[in-house]
Structure 1
Amino acid sequence: MSAVICGSLAFDTIMTFEGRFSEQILPDQLHILNVSFLVPALRREFGGCAGNIAYSLRQLGGTPLPMATVGSDGVEYVTRMKTQGINTEFVREVNDTYTAQAMIMTDRDNNQITAFHPGAMMQAHITRIEARSDIRLGMISPDGRDAMQQHAEQFKAAGIPFVFDPGQGLPMFDGKELAHFVELASWVTVNDYEARMLCDRIGLSCAEMSKQVQGLVVTLGEQGCEVWIDGDKTVVPPVQAEAVVDPTGCGDAFRGALLFGLEQGWSLARCAALGNRVGAHKIASRGGQNYALNLAKIDV
């Protein structure tokens, strides 16, 4: 069974700030904010939510179908995915633009500040989702605004259950639009900050929202995650990481595991538990796509 993963393919420029953002940003001076961070460590990685999630799902033995757009500079990325056994039939090249770019700065407490240039991602809606016998599952992750809305409608029309994962794209939508996404989706996954924003905008609690879908997952970082089903909450405990090196892509690694479990027909709590294990493994590696999973070790 294949899973269509709608979202971005991006190049991540990852920088490390050795101090704390909280020590550099004065709360009472935000109206004249003018800060500079010295970042002695810098590297460029393959990233983007669709790419990271597809990488995680493929590592677990799943069959990802990323649906995304790249710019004229994206050939290297597409070639790399092919060598990893990831089907790129739904990845399109858009000329005269760059592949999406994320500039991510992480401080010593693993807080992050990100600047994102969407580039070719803004044309992601040009690829349509159609019903197909081998496609049984989907995910809407952060993408171009039009693409997120149209792909959600297309998943529903094709009878393909999907996970709504708005991520950093959540602020683009008002309460009515977000409520419609929830209405169309089978599952919703957000982190704790996004959960508060989503609940505030649609005017529902997590318990109430979970009654409108098959399940809601709220990730809590090092504290594990919450699984909400029909108004009831289950706390899935965290997994201790062997090393904390780089949080970039941990949420996407979790979501790849979530999709893998859903492909297998697991309970949502079991899917989330695998997500916690994969996320704990990923955080010990730099970048979103540089880890290798030992399936026996993470108990798949």
Structure 2
Amino acid sequence: MPTLICGSVAYDTIMVFPDRFKHHILPDKVHMLSVSFLVPEMRREYGGCAGNIGYNLHLLGGEPVIMATVGQDFGPYADRLKTLGMRQDCIRVIEDQYTPQCFITNDLDDNQITAFHPGAMGESHHNRFDHVAGLKLAIIGPDGRDGMLTHVRELKAAGIPFIFDPGQAMPLFSGPELLDCVAAADYVALNDYEAALMEEKTGKGIADLAGMVKALIVTRGGEGSSIYVGGKEITIPVAKAAAVLDPTGCGDAYRAGLLFGIDQGWDWETTGRLASLLGSIKIASRGGQNHKFDQASLRADFRTAFNAELPAW
């Protein structure tokens, strides 16, 4: 069954400064900051929330339909999606814009200086999904503000259940706007910081927000995650990772697990554990889309992590 994934498709340029920022930033001069860092190590990754979620859902055997706006430099990403066999019919190219870009510089203490250029993402409200046959599930991830609001309204009007996942785009919305989006959604996914921000902006606690949807999911990094459903909290444990190399895209991998479990009709304990496992697999590799798994390896890893079996699909 096709699953619509609304959100960003981006290039992540990641650089490593082989020193510590604190050695080169003078505290008494931050009002006139002008610094330059030599970064001999650099890599370019395929990313963006929608791109990462789609990649993981594709590995699971789902049919992701990424809906995003990209720019004139999208060619290499398009070639990658074609090689993977992933649909591109809901990806719109804006020729006078660039594909969203994230520029990240890390130092030896894993501090980050990040700059994000939204580029074509600001045109996401022009995207449509009318031509996608058999669409029964969707997720709205971080995207252009107008695009997110438009897709909330359109998915609600079409009767297509969806996860509202505002992520780092949350500051773009007022409290009432967030409440409208939650009320229209079937599910909400947040990390623990975003959950606290949602409570602050809306004036409603997690229990109240969870009561507005079928399920509300809060991820807590190394402390696992919680799924609030039916007036109770289901605690999802962390799956131990083979290595902890890069958290970039772990939340997106988790969300792909949620989408797959919902699509399969699995219970929330199983769905949450699959999502947790995908996050742990992702964190063991650098970049948002360089990890791999298949059904056999996933079943074995699930058995090891949770002493339980994944249902057949």
Tell me what 2:4 maps to. Answer: 4
Tell me what 1:70 maps to. Answer: 70
CA contact (8 A) 1:129 1:155 kept: no
Offset from partner CA, 1:230-256 (integer Å, 9 cap, x none): 332121010111111111111111111
* Change over 3 Å in CA distance of 1:217–1:24 after alignment to 2: farther
Offset from partner CA, 1:184-236 (integer Å, 9 cap, x none): 10000011111100111111111111110000111111111111113321210
* Change over 3 Å in CA distance of 1:122–1:230 after alignment to 2: same
Tell me what 1:225 maps to. Answer: 225
CA positional deviation for 1:133: 4.5
Tell me what 1:32 maps to. Answer: 31
| RMSD, aligned α-carbons | 2.3
Which structure 2 segments of 5+ residues have no match? 300-309
Q: How does 1:120-269 map to 2 (within 5 A)?
A: 120-130=120-130, 133-269=133-269
Distance 2:50 2:73 in 1: 17
Q: Which amino acid aligns with 1:104?
A: I
Distance 2:16 2:208 in 1: 39
Offset from partner CA, 1:15-68 (integer Å, 9 cap, x none): 335667789889x87973838566443211111111010000001110000001
Offset from partner CA, 1:153-173 (integer Å, 9 cap, x none): 000000000000111111100
Q: Is 1:294 equivalent to 2:291 in the alignment? A: no
Name the SS for the 1:298 alignment partner: helix
Distance 2:6 2:44 in 1: 23
Name the SS for the 2:295 alignment partner: coil
Distance 1:257 1:248 in 2: 16
Distance 1:153 1:196 in 2: 25
Moved more, 124-133 or 48-57: 124-133
CA positional deviation for 1:73: 0.7
CA contact (8 A) 1:53 1:253 kept: yes
CA contact (8 A) 2:90 2:129 kept: no
* Change over 3 Å in CA distance of 1:14–1:176 after alignment to 2: same
CA contact (8 A) 1:11 1:46 kept: yes
- Could you tell me the percent identity over the aligned residues? 47
Name the SS for the 1:297 alignment partner: helix
Name the SS for the 1:86 alignment partner: coil
So what's the TM-score if we normalise by structure 1?
A: 0.92
So what's the TM-score if we normalise by structure 2?
A: 0.88
Distance 2:246 2:298 in 1: 19
Name the SS for the 1:80 alignment partner: helix
Moved more, 269-278 or 130-139: 130-139
CA contact (8 A) 2:179 2:202 kept: yes
* Change over 3 Å in CA distance of 1:56–1:23 after alignment to 2: farther
Distance 1:20 1:198 in 2: 34
Q: Which amino acid aligns with 2:210?
A: S
Tell me what 1:87 maps to. Answer: 87
CA positional deviation for 1:279: 0.8
CA positional deviation for 1:69: 1.2
CA positional deviation for 1:125: 1.1
Tell me what 2:306 maps to. Answer: none
* Change over 3 Å in CA distance of 1:151–1:33 after alignment to 2: farther
Number of corresponding residues = 299
Name the SS for the 2:142 alignment partner: coil
Offset from partner CA, 1:59-103 (integer Å, 9 cap, x none): 111000000111111022112112111111101111111111011
Distance 2:39 2:123 in 1: 32
Q: Which amino acid aligns with 2:230?
A: D
* Change over 3 Å in CA distance of 1:109–1:190 after alignment to 2: farther
Structure 1 or 2, whichever has the larger Rg, is 2
CA contact (8 A) 1:216 1:229 kept: yes
Moved more, 141-150 or 14-23: 14-23
Tell me what 1:102 maps to. Answer: 102
* Change over 3 Å in CA distance of 1:106–1:279 after alignment to 2: farther
CA contact (8 A) 2:90 2:128 kept: no
Name the SS for the 1:135 alignment partner: coil
Q: Which amino acid aligns with 1:59?
A: L
